[in-house]
């Protein structure tokens, strides 16, 4: 039985947003590395209600991750960092970077943007990624595309948030393998790869030399090649091969 496309409801979006008084946004805005937010648990009712969250801090080096964890622990917007000895919360979630450390954190639910997203019909469908002072949310919207714009305006107004749509698809669309592999890249690897792709580095003949690309990216040729080789290794993972292309 065929279905009229006008009756199909449900839209998947990737949102990039900023909102005030967020310890994760503030920490990643000042430091390298990033954070994955896996789950939020309601703490036992107290006079000052709080919530517990399970997170992963990641980065290129141990020092980068330790500096990020220290900044979070020192933040007046969050409680103490309780680092876990063994990683168990991430499941099959791809974690960017070379180093990852999982931790619990107690903090004020008043700084969360999640309730505002839910109020306007957005339900997150995967861990939230925080890098460079921005959160990236994979969400499902219960209504059709025609209602997305007004709902996002509501999130922006009620959450004092800056929101942009990075990707939008119907509910039947499946995140391509390419997108999943891109999520395993660090910020530097992703930026270097995307710059190389835009400048024609992967075309034949090449539209830009390695030296020119490194100069534009603001790093040495050796560092650029290191970023690109690590990105290519993750993007060309044979265990996740398919029909995806670099685009």
What is the tens place of the pLDDT at every residue in 93-133? 567 778 889 998 887 777 788 888 888 888 887 889 999 99
User: In this prediction, what percent of the chain has a pLDDT beyond 70?
Assistant: 78
The answer to whether residue 237 scores a pLDDT higher than 80 is no
Q: Which of these three, 175, 190, 220, is where a domain ends?
A: 175
Kindly report whether the peptide bond that precedes residue 163 is cis, defined as omega within 30 degrees of 0. no
Q: Is residue 136 part of a domain?
A: yes
74 compared with 202, residue with greater pLDDT: 74
**67 and 165 in a common domain:** yes
Q: What are residue 49's phi and psi, to 5 degrees? A: -60, 135
Q: Is residue 1 part of a domain?
A: no
End-to-end, the C-alpha distance of the chain in Å comes to 35
Q: Which of these three, 160, 175, 190, is where a domain ends?
A: 175
**5 pLDDT band (50/70/90 cuts)?**
very low
**220 and 168 in a common domain:** no
Write down the pLDDT at residue 204.
62
Write down the pLDDT at residue 35.
93
- Strand 51-59 and strand 128-131: pairing? unpaired
**53 and 98 in a common domain:** yes
Q: Enter the pTM of the model.
A: 0.64
**189 and 216 in a common domain:** yes
pLDDT in tens, 126-155: 889 999 999 999 888 877 777 888 999 999
Torsion of CA 168, 171, 173, 179, to 10 degrees: 50
**221 and 168 in a common domain:** no
Q: Is residue 246 part of a domain?
A: no
Write down the pLDDT at residue 43.
53
Q: What is each CA distance from 201 to 63, 160, 181, 218, in whole angstroms?
A: 32, 40, 20, 16
pLDDT in tens, 25-61: 999 999 988 999 887 766 555 555 677 788 999 988 8
**153 and 60 in a common domain:** yes
Contacts of 236 (CB under 8 A, 6+ apart): none
Q: Is residue 215 part of a domain?
A: yes
Domain region containing 194: 177-240
Contacts of 4 (CB under 8 A, 6+ apart): none
Query: What distance in Å separates the CA atoms of residue 107 and residue 111, rounded to the nearest whole number?
Result: 8
Q: Which of these three, 131, 156, 175, is where a domain ends?
A: 175
Query: What distance in Å separates the CA atoms of residue 232 and residue 235, rounded to the nearest whole number?
Result: 5
The answer to whether residue 81 scores a pLDDT higher than 60 is yes
| Number of structural domains the chain divides into | 2
Dig out the tokens for 172 from the structure. Answer: 């039947």
Q: Which candidate, 123, 114, 131, places its Cα nearest to that of 56?
A: 131
């Amino acid at each position: 039985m065929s279905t009229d496309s006008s009756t199909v409801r449900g839209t998947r979006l990737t949102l990039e947003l900023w909102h005030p008084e967020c310890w994760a946004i503030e920490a990643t805005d000042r430091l390298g590395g990033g954070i994955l937010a896996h789950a939020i648990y309601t703490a036992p009712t107290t006079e000052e209600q709080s919530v517990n969250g399970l997170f992963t801090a990641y980065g290129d080096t141990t020092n980068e991750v330790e500096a990020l964890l220290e900044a979070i622990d020192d933040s007046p917007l969050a409680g103490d960092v309780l680092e876990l000895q063994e990683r168990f919360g991430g499941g099959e979630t791809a974690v960017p970077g070379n180093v990852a450390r999982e931790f619990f954190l107690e903090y004020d639910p008043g700084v969360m943007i999640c309730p505002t997203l839910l109020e306007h019909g957005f339900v997150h469908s995967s861990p939230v990624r925080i890098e460079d002072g921005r959160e990236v949310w994979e969400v499902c919207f219960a209504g059709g595309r025609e209602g997305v714009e007004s709902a996002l305006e509501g999130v922006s107004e009620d959450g004092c948030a800056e929101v942009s749509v990075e990707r939008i698809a119907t509910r039947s669309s499946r995140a391509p393998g390419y997108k999943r592999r891109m999520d395993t890249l660090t910020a530097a690897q992703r930026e270097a790869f995307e710059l190389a792709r835009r400048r024609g580095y992967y075309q034949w003949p090449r539209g830009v030399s390695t030296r020119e690309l490194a100069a534009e990216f603001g790093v040495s040729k050796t560092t650029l090649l290191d970023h690109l080789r690590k990105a290519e290794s993750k993007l060309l993972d044979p265990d996740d091969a398919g029909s995806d292309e670099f685009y």
